[in-house]
């Protein structure tokens, strides 16, 4: 786990594991209907088992996910960790297109607009670069102003895959964005990557 300070709040970051179902379910319960719709493209009053199963199919480097916890509500009990979950972001390799990975991310409503979305996206960029990802892509609802604004910072390029313009396919190049990440933050994220040997490429030779 690493600690990152966002304004006057400390956030703990750690890699998700296939055992994190209860934590993801707890976060999902605290998500507004609107945020659920932005993330899953449907109101989704409860998370179907099939969706939970795919979220837990963590298998780095093919599929990795980072979880953000609000340090101010964490104590030594596991229950406090469930309440502390405030964000998650993941990258899943697209087998048909080597070097391309699909991203998804969610920040709990009460924690939005504090820069956590940017932090999580930078985790994906820095870690993606380590494991050979060249573009980070996703279909985003065209009405999703927050996600669109966030992606705009990272040289995103968009196209409309459907005729009704409800979604936008967005691609973010990885390498071009790395030098813009604050060096201190990047060093912390490199430290996080070292916590999972599957995300560290083998030494050449
Ligand atoms: C998209 C999301 C992850 C952003 O998380 P966040 O922690 O609020 O992100 P940040 O605070 O780092 O930045 C959000 C950006 O959106 C902007 N923003 C927020 N709401 C906005 C709105 N209604 N209209 C325009 N811009 C908006 C913020 O000003 C900020 O832009 P800036 O970087 O230019 O200042 C979060 O809103 C979320 O989880 N939404 C629901 C799920 C979702 O949409 N997931 C994405 C689908 S893959």
- C-beta of residue 147 within 8 angstroms of C-beta of residue 112: no
pLDDT tens per residue across span 164-190: 678 899 999 999 999 999 999 999 999
Q: In the chain, what are the domains?
A: 2-194 (3.40.630.30)
pLDDT tens per residue across span 135-146: 999 999 999 999
Sheet hosting strand 157-159, strand order edge to edge: 2-6, 9-15, 63-70, 85-93, 100-107, 135-141, 167-173, 157-159
Q: Tell how far the Cα of 106 is from the centroid of ligand 1, in angstroms.
A: 9
**Cβ(136) – ligand 1 distance below 6 Å:** no
Work out which ligand 1 atom sits closest to the CA atom of 113: 11
Q: Tell how far the Cα of 123 is from the centroid of ligand 1, in angstroms.
A: 16
Confidence class for position 205, pLDDT limits 50, 70, 90:
low
């Amino acid at each position: 786990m690493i600690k990152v300070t966002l304004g006057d709040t400390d956030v703990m970051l750690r890699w998700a594991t296939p055992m994190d179902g209860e934590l993801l379910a707890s976060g999902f319960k605290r998500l507004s209907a609107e945020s659920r719709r932005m993330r899953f493209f449907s109101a989704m009053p409860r998370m179907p088992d099939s969706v939970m199963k795919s979220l837990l199919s963590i298998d780095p480097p093919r599929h990795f996910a980072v979880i953000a916890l609000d340090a101010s509500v964490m104590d030594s009990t596991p229950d406090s960790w469930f309440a502390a979950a405030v964000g998650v972001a993941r990258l899943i390799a697209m087998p048909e297109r080597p070097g391309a990975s699909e991203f998804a991310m969610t920040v709990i409503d009460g924690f939005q607009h504090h820069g956590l979305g940017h932090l999580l996206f930078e985790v994906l960029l820095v870690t993606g670069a380590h494991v050979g990802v060249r573009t980070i892509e996703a279909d985003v609802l065209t009405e999703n102003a927050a996600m669109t604004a966030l992606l705009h910072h990272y040289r995103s390029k968009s196209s409309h895959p459907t005729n009704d313009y409800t979604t936008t396919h967005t691609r973010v190049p990885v390498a071009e964005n790395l030098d813009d990440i604050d060096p201190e933050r990047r060093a912390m994220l490199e430290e996080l990557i070292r916590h999972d040997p599957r995300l560290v490429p083998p030494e050449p030779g």
